[in-house]
A and B are shown apart, each in its own frame.
Chain A
Amino acid sequence: MSELTFEIAQKELEQIVERLERGEAELDEAIALWERGEELLRFCLTRLETAEGRIEELAQRAASTAPLPPDAEPG
């Protein structure tokens, strides 16, 4: 079984939401779907937060270093 990725989680969450919105599910099943949906939502949000943190970190590092330091040029 492959590891859960953001994309897979998001896709499954979408399917769950659509199913709930059509209102076809049995009540017990609907509750179970909701639970699963919340779980997936948490996973996705965590992933997004992690990504955001990485982006900020990289952007800060980029701002403090030039792509090529000037003293690396041939004298």
Chain B
Amino acid sequence: MKVEPLLYGDKKVFTVAGFNRGVADWLARLPTIWIEGEVTELRRSPNWGSVFFTLKDPDDGACLPASIPRRTFDALKLNLVEGERIHVLGRPELFAAKGEFRLRALSLERFGLGEHLAAIERLKQTLSAEGLFDASRKRSLPRFPRRIGLVTGSDAAARRDVISTIQVRFPPARVLVAETLVQGPRAAAGIVEALEALSREPGIDVIVLTRGGGSFDDLLPFSDERVVRAVASCAVPVVSAVGHEQDTPLCDLAADVRASTPTAAGKLVVPDFEALRVELTRARSSLERCVRRTTERERERLARTRSALERGARATLARDHRRVTTLGERLRRGPVLLLERRRSAIERAEGRLTALSPRATLGRGYAIVRSADAVLRTTAGLSAGAAVEVELAEGSFGARVEDVRE
């Protein structure tokens, strides 16, 4: 239906109704399309012909009011809850009476498994390209965490498994639990908040993020981009133990360590107390053996050194003893030899003396004649009648010269 303006001179003026109808007609020519968003502000009343809700863009929060015929909505039996992601088939519409723009839905679907998988795969590619899952980002777990943070559901079996494993394995461990929703549309935000709250706590050295097995939908929050990023950027190392072995939510890839079960996660974050005790005991006895062996070896060496010392002292003493004894013998022999030599020299001298003595000549019959005490060697000066003294070998006598011959 063509909308005709009123004419005021050369100015064309439309009525409100006319304008609305015109825009509505124009909008009605747009094609029917699928739109993806989260359900919020879902309002249904048996008195209304339509069910109203707002589609919200999960990324930037942009909103789109929408309506769907109540009969259509009820026939779908979707049991939609707030925050669920849906695909809506519809076309834009202007509610002419109020000038309100909205999406008129012909049908809607819960965001299906296939779509979820594709979305997760896309996110995985993006985050992987960012390097969020790189092995180089993985931190090693502390061997003795002061406190262990645990993000888990309020009544989860997973929670019990982690805590009891930790307590059995390492009784002194301290665990701080942050409870959160672990499924449904509000779970992702709750998990992120719990992670952040725990990493602000003093002494938390590692965080375990756990949830038991569940349906694909149940585990979806653990592949939510916010959760994955929060795990990757957490201030302390994160162990992820979500779902069963075969499930691989994206938070598993971003975590520093992935555990196949909550029990495995408990084993990863604390050392085995008993094994530790055995190891320490073994180390101590090995240490003791080492010390004893060293002491024993040193004792033997000392003993050997001491007997060498004693032998040395005795040998030195013996040597000095021999030297001194020999010196003593030589000392006593020296003077005796000296005296012997002197004596024989004197005896030799005596012999020579005896041999040279004039008495020996007298003994052979010679006589010594002296005149006035001088030995006579010539007759010169001698006259008859002179008195002389004659000495023989034995005795002497006085005589007178009878005559003198030339």
Q: Which residues of A contact B (CB under 8 A)?
A: 6, 10, 13-14, 16-17, 20-21, 23, 25, 27, 30-31, 33-34, 37-38, 41, 44-45, 48, 51-52, 55, 58-59, 62, 66-68, 73-74
Kindly list chain B residues whose C-beta atoms are within 8 Å of the C-beta of A16: 331
Q: Which residues of the partner chain A approach B327 to less than 8 Å between Cβ atoms?
A: 10, 13-14, 17, 41, 44
Please, which residue of chain B has its CB at the minimum distance from the CB of A7?
Answer: B320
Is B310's CB under 8 angstroms from A41's CB?
Answer: no
Question: What are 9 A-B pairs at a CB distance below 8 A?
Answer: A23-B341, A25-B338, A34-B335, A37-B331, A41-B328, A52-B317, A55-B314, A62-B310, A73-B291
Once the chains are docked, how many angstroms separate the CA of A41 from the CA of B302? 37
List 19 additional A-B contacts (Cβ < 8 Å) besides A68-B295, A68-B302: A10-B320, A14-B327, A17-B334, A20-B330, A20-B331, A27-B339, A31-B335, A34-B334, A37-B334, A38-B331, A44-B324, A48-B321, A51-B313, A51-B317, A55-B313, A55-B317, A58-B310, A74-B288, A74-B291
Residue of B with least CB distance to A31: B335
B348 CB–A CB distance under 8 Å: no
B285 smallest CB distance to A (angstroms): 13
Contact yes or no, A27 B338, CB < 8 A: yes
Give bound CA distance, A35 to B192, whole Å: 112
Name the CB-closest residue of A to B335: A34
CB-based contact A73/B334 at 8 Å: no
A67 close to B299 (CB less than 8 A): yes
Q: Tell me the chain B residues, 287-306 only, with Cβ under 8 Å from chain A.
A: 288, 291-292, 295, 298-299, 302-303, 306
B306 touches A67 (CB 8 A): yes
Contacts of A21 in B (CB 8 A): 330, 333-334, 337
Given contacts A30-B335, A55-B313, A62-B310, contact A17 B321 (CB under 8 A): no
CA distance A41 to B298 in the complex (A): 43
Nearest to B326 among chain A residues (CB) is A17
Interface size on B, residues (CB 8 A): 30
- A interface footprint on B324-356 (CB within 8 Å = 1, 0 otherwise): 100110111111011101100000000000000
- Tell whether, in the assembled complex, residue A30 and residue B338 are in contact, meaning their CB atoms are under 8 Å apart: yes
**Chain A: minimal CB distance from B310 (Å):** 6
Q: Contacting A17 at CB < 8 Å: which of B299, B320, B330, B339?
A: B330
B405 in the interface, Cβ–Cβ < 8 Å?
A: no
B323 at the interface (CB under 8 A from A): yes
A73 to B317, CA, bound (A): 36
Are B331 and A27 in contact, CB atoms less than 8 angstroms apart?
no
Please name the residue on chain A nearest to B316 by beta carbon: A51
Q: Which residue of chain B has the shortest Cβ distance to A62 in the bound complex?
A: B306
* A48 surroundings in chain B (CB, below 8 A): 317, 320-321, 324
Q: Is the CB of B313 within 8 A of A17?
A: no
**Chain A contacts for B291, CB-based, 8 A:** 73-74
Residue of B nearest to A36 (CB): B331
Return B179 CB to nearest CB of chain A, in Å: 51
Contacts of B302 in A (CB 8 A): 67-68
Residues of A with C-beta under 8 A to B341: 23
Assess the B306–A20 pair: CB atoms within 8 A: no
Give me the 10 closest cross-chain CB pairs, A-B, nearest first.
A20-B334, A67-B302, A37-B331, A17-B330, A44-B324, A34-B335, A41-B328, A13-B327, A30-B338, A17-B331
Contact check, A41 vs B299: say whether CB atoms are below 8 A apart. Answer: no
Given the complex, which residues of B lie within 8 Å of A58, measured CB to CB? 310
